[in-house]
Amino acid sequence: MKKKIIIIEDIAAIREGFVAALQSTGKYSVINAYDSCEAALVNLHTDEPDVVLMDIELPGMDGIEGTARIKKEFANCIVLIITVLEDSEKVFQSLCAGAGGYIVKNSNIENIDQTIDEALRGGAPMSLSIAKMVVESFRREPNSPLSERETEVLQAIASGKSYSKIAQEIFVSKETVRTHIKNIYRKLEVSSKAEALRIANKNKWVNY
């Protein structure tokens, strides 16, 4: 039996292009094509798609939120992101939301077909440039105002450890950890763990 596919893409020309391309292969059953996530979600339980081709930039609910909603209902449904701009933050977010891979917007029919095939076989189809983007987003930024020790302490804070626990692990007194924290707060101009982590994470001074 043919795999059921739906398409969510707001630009009619692109949307219809995908529909035509998929139907021309004869391998898939294109159930529906929508111009918004909202529209797609109301029919989700009748469509029961195996694969969703999802644009990331959509009016109203964006493709990231849409991916999350669909995966919540149908965990086995594969959501492939149709993307043209390569914004590492959005690519990363959509991966976290459960995206199964990426289709470049101006792909030809064979390319799209191959991508869907790979996804159905359990792979994570994506271009090297997209994969690299995500990988590079985990590189530390070198211009941190925090010293090595401070970064180490903040890293430990990020994993939920208490000051005493951190002190034990890095073989210093609890007071030393507290001093480091105070200095971190002063440098980042914050006054709580959450704020410090938010700043440091945003600037990639700490890794998760």
Partner DNA sequence: GCTGTATCCCCCAATTTGGGGGATTTTTAA
Partner DNA sequence: TTAAAAATCCCCCAAATTGGGGGATACAGC
- Residue pair 142/185 in contact (Cβ under 8 Å)? The answer is no
CA distance 141 to 125: 28
CA distance 75 to 89: 23
> Binding a copy of itself by CB under 8 A: which of 45, 121, 171, 208?
208
> Binding DNA by CB under 7 A: which of 107, 163, 201, 203?
163
> 10 Å Cβ neighbour count for 71?
18
Q: How far is the CB of 8 from a copy of itself (least distance, A)?
A: 21
CA distance 207 to 111: 35
Bridge partners, residue 69, by sequence:
none
Task: Report which residue type is found at 25.
Answer: T
Work out the burial of residue 67: count CB atoms within 10 Å of its CB; fewer than 13 is exposed, 13-18 middle, 19 or more buried: buried
DSSP three-state, residue 51: strand
In the complex with a copy of itself, the residue whose CB is nearer, 174 or 193, is 193
Torsion sign (Cα): 74, 95, 78, 82: positive
* Packed helices 88-97 and 63-73: angle between N→C axes, nearest 10 degrees: 10
Q: Which does 131 bind (CB under 5 to 8 A by kind): DNA, a copy of itself, none?
A: a copy of itself
Position 180 contacts DNA (CB under 7 A): yes
Spell out, one character per residue from 122 to 161, where the chain touches DNA: x when CB under 7 A holds, - when not: -----------------------x-xxxx-----------
Position 189 contacts DNA (CB under 7 A): no
In the complex with a copy of itself, the residue whose CB is nearer, 16 or 110, is 110
Q: How far is the CB of 164 from DNA (least distance, A)?
A: 4
Q: How many residues bind DNA (CB under 7 A)?
A: 25
> Binding a copy of itself by CB under 8 A: which of 31, 65, 92, 187?
92
Binding site for a copy of itself (CB under 8 A): 72, 75, 92, 95-96, 98, 123-124, 126, 128, 131-132, 134-136, 138-140, 142, 148, 157-162, 165, 192-194, 196-198, 201, 207-208
Q: Which residues bind DNA (CB under 7 A)?
A: 145, 147-150, 162-165, 167, 170, 172-173, 175-176, 178-183, 185, 191-193
